[in-house]
């Protein structure tokens, strides 16, 4: 009897935005893995710290934080080996994932390494699209809208084409690309339709018009664009 | 002192996938509104029925179920009047929204009518993108992928252009459009990359390859397409 690999979304940051199932699984977990930076604390772990039992076995996956580059695959090889040991011994392993496990997350690197050998369960979480729309109290998409989600790391030409084809746009992974992205949105005449959110649901959340956003945006920030002129758009 | 309009996402269907905050708000609610069909029960209400107090005031918004048509605005006028009465009297009103309140939901119709007069709070929920990816245990998007979300009600030309420009695609609101959508995905050579999910997280959830999907798909179903050939794609 092997254990299950359970990818658990912790939501955007507020511990109250964790699902009931995720919270219960974490409270009962004997083995917990999570991504962690090379210095400092794990964001995913910090969200649910209160639910983790004192005697749980913890497996931090130390992922060097270099935005825009794929982390070293050896980190996931090593983590998969450690996690696989617990699974083979019949112990479930909870893998904490900020936001949702399958929306731009690193959980897929474990999934591909372990899914052929062990049962897998995914507990979806509130993803950053819904969290940022909530912070702005602004519809993300409505009726027959087309929504496109774009990494801010793409070049201007690719971004402009995608923005042009959609009714609503979410630009993620902003960070150091902020000045360029702001200029692009302005050139497209959409600044008046663009919102900026960082650290959604956390005490230091910022929910602003894009025109009021800082140039030094964090990685966990998002630009939402709604091109319609429907009456619910401010 | 007026009450707050609180739009609460109930997630995709499993009561365990409701967030802790949503559950606590619903347990404490004195006034609860929710969309309901003209016959039968409200899906949003059914998800959290166990949390609703016996003496809560309930405001069902009877929305005629005609896929592809905007519901009669008078339903929301009437609901906004009823809800506004409670808000003006200082009572918070919880509005239940299946999935997430701001992701293709009807909550926006109340939001636009009431947000200028009363404080608004949104509690995001697990949306159907994350729920369907979880049901399939398949990444929705990774790394620098572009994700496009498309209503299945769009015509073939619009769909083909949008699918062509994205790395990953979610087609929502399928229902009676299923045979046409399946033929389109096949014509684009993407059937081998397409997954079909209905009623994600519910006991009657179906998570299939698109090629195995039934022709009579429900409205609450989704096609996910991942065009990459990365090793985690089965």
Contacts of B129 in chain A (CB under 8 A): 103, 127, 129
Mean pLDDT (chain B, rounded): 93
CA B104 to chain centre: 6
Q: Domain count of chain A?
A: 2
pLDDT score recorded for residue B74: 86
pLDDT score recorded for residue B232: 46
For residue A19, give the nearest of B105, B123, B126 by CB distance. Answer: B126
Token couple for A206: 């910022």
pTM: 0.95
Q: Name the 3-class secondary structure at A43.
A: helix
* Residue A233 within a domain: no
pLDDT surpassing 90 at residue B219: no
B143 vs A167: which has the higher pLDDT: A167
A118 touches chain B (CB under 8 A): no
Tell me the sheet residues that pair with A151: A172
Q: How far apart are CA A122 and CA B47, in angstroms?
A: 19
* Residue A232 within a domain: no
* Closest to B123 (Cα-Cα) out of B2, B16, B21: B21
Count of CB pairs separated by less than 8 Å, A with B: 191
* Residue A159 within a domain: yes
Region of poorest pLDDT, from A16-25, A224-233, B90-99, B143-152: A224-233
Token couple for B18: 């409701």
* Closest to A152 (Cα-Cα) out of B228, B143, B150: B143
* Residue B98 within a domain: yes
For range A157-164, the mean pLDDT:
96
Q: Which of B124, B162, B228, B230 to mutate to test the interface with A (most CBs of A within 10 A)?
A: B124
* A226 secondary structure, DSSP code: E
Same-domain status, B52 and B144: no
* Closest to B134 (Cα-Cα) out of B9, B8, B231, B11: B11
The 10 Å Cβ neighbour count of residue B52 is 17
For range A210-216, the mean pLDDT:
94
Q: What is the pLDDT of residues B108-124, one digit of tens each?
A: 999 999 999 999 999 99
Token couple for A126: 């509130």
* Residue A197 within a domain: yes
pLDDT surpassing 80 at residue B12: yes
- R_g of chain A computed on alpha carbons: 19
pLDDT score recorded for residue B101: 97
pLDDT score recorded for residue B63: 80
Please, are residues B10 and B47 in contact by the beta-carbon 8 Å criterion? yes
CA distances A229 to A118, A151, B207, Å, are: 50, 25, 37
A219 touches chain B (CB under 8 A): no
Same-domain status, A116 and A58: yes
Token couple for A149: 């989600």
* % of chain A with per-residue pLDDT over 90: 85
* % of chain B with per-residue pLDDT over 70: 94
- Could you tell me whether strands B93-97 and B221-226 are parallel, antiparallel, or unpaired per DSSP bridges? unpaired
Residue that is last in its domain, among B123, B156, B177: B123
For range A158-176, the mean pLDDT:
95
CA distances A163 to A146, A227, B8, B126, B171, Å, are: 10, 9, 29, 25, 18
A165 touches chain B (CB under 8 A): yes
ipTM (interface pTM): 0.95
Token couple for B193: 């990359």
pLDDT-derived band at B220, boundaries 50, 70, 90: confident
For residue B153, give the nearest of A24, A134, A144 by CB distance. Answer: A144
Q: Name the 3-class secondary structure at B96.
A: strand
Q: What is the pLDDT of residues B156-181, one digit of tens each?
A: 999 999 999 999 999 999 999 999 99
pLDDT-derived band at B231, boundaries 50, 70, 90: very low
Same-domain status, B19 and B85: yes
CA B151 to chain centre: 12
Tell me the residue range of the domain where B191 lies.
128-226
Torsion of CA B140, A145, A166, A231, to 10 degrees: -130
For chain B positions 168-187, those within 8 Å of chain A (CB to CB) are: none
Same-domain status, A117 and A33: yes
pLDDT score recorded for residue B38: 84
Using CA coordinates, name the residue in chain B closest to A106. B142
Q: Name the 3-class secondary structure at B131.
A: helix
Q: What is the pLDDT of residues B42-61, one digit of tens each?
A: 999 999 999 999 999 999 99
Q: Rounded to 5 degrees, what angle do the CA atoms B109, B115, B117 make?
A: 130
CB distance A148–B148 less than 8 Å?
A: yes
* Closest to A121 (Cα-Cα) out of A87, A167, A144, A158: A87
- Three state DSSP letters for B213-228: CCCCCCCCEEEEEECC
Same-domain status, A133 and A208: yes
CB distance B154–A144 less than 8 Å?
A: yes
Contacts of B127 in chain A (CB under 8 A): 126-127, 129-130
Q: What is the pLDDT of residues B65-78, one digit of tens each?
A: 665 455 578 889 99
Q: Report the CATH number at residue A196.
A: 3.30.950.10
The 10 Å Cβ neighbour count of residue B89 is 11
pLDDT score recorded for residue B67: 54
* Closest to B9 (Cα-Cα) out of B133, B118, B76, B105: B105
Region of poorest pLDDT, from A227-231, B55-59, B147-151, B209-213: A227-231
Same-domain status, A37 and A68: yes
pLDDT score recorded for residue B229: 66
Q: What is the pLDDT of residues A75-105, one digit of tens each?
A: 899 999 999 999 999 999 999 999 999 999 8
Q: Please count the residues of chain A.
A: 234
Mean pLDDT (chain A, rounded): 93
For residue A16, give the nearest of B17, B19, B112 by CB distance. Answer: B19
Q: How far apart are CA A46 and CA A63, in angstroms?
A: 16
Please, are residues A181 and B173 in contact by the beta-carbon 8 Å criterion? no
Q: What is the pLDDT of residues B134-148, one digit of tens each?
A: 999 999 998 889 999
Residue that is last in its domain, among A84, A102, A123: A123
Token couple for A205: 């959340």
Same-domain status, A19 and A115: yes
Q: What is the pLDDT of residues A99-142, one digit of tens each?
A: 999 999 889 999 999 999 999 999 999 999 999 999 999 999 98
Q: Rounded to 5 degrees, what angle do the CA atoms B179, B180, B186 make?
A: 90
For range A41-48, the mean pLDDT:
97
Q: Report the CATH number at residue B64.
A: 3.40.1010.10
* A38 secondary structure, DSSP code: S
Using CA coordinates, name the residue in chain A closest to B144. A151
Same-domain status, A147 and A118: no
* % of chain A with per-residue pLDDT over 70: 94
Q: Name the 3-class secondary structure at B98.
A: coil
* Residue B233 within a domain: no
Q: Which helix (H) or strand (E) holds A27?
A: helix A20-27
């Amino acid at each position: 009897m092997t254990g299950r690999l359970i990818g658990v979304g912790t939501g955007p940051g507020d511990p109250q935005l964790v699902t009931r199932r995720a919270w219960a699984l974490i409270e009962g977990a004997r083995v917990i893995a999570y991504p962690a930076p090379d210095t400092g604390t794990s964001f995913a772990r910090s969200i649910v710290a209160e639910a983790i039992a004192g005697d749980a076995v913890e497996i931090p996956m130390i992922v060097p934080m270099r935005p825009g580059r794929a982390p070293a695959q050896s980190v996931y090889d090593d983590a998969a080996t450690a996690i696989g040991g617990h699974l083979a011994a019949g112990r479930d392993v909870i893998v904490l994932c900020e936001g949702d496990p399958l929306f731009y997350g690193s959980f897929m690197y474990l999934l591909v390494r372990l899914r052929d050998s062990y049962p897998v369960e995914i507990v979806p979480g509130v993803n950053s699209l819904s969290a940022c729309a909530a912070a702005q109290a602004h519809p993300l998409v409505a009726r027959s809208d087309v929504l496109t989600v774009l990494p801010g790391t793409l070049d201007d030409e690719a971004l402009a084409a995608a923005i042009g084809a959609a009714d609503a746009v979410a630009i993620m992974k902003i960070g150091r690309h902020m000045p360029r992205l702001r200029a692009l949105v302005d050139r497209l005449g959409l600044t008046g339709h663009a919102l900026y959110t960082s650290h959604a649901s956390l005490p230091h959340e910022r929910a602003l018009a894009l025109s009021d956003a800082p140039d030094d945006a964090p990685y966990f920030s998002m630009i939402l664009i709604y091109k319609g002129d429907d009456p619910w758009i401010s």
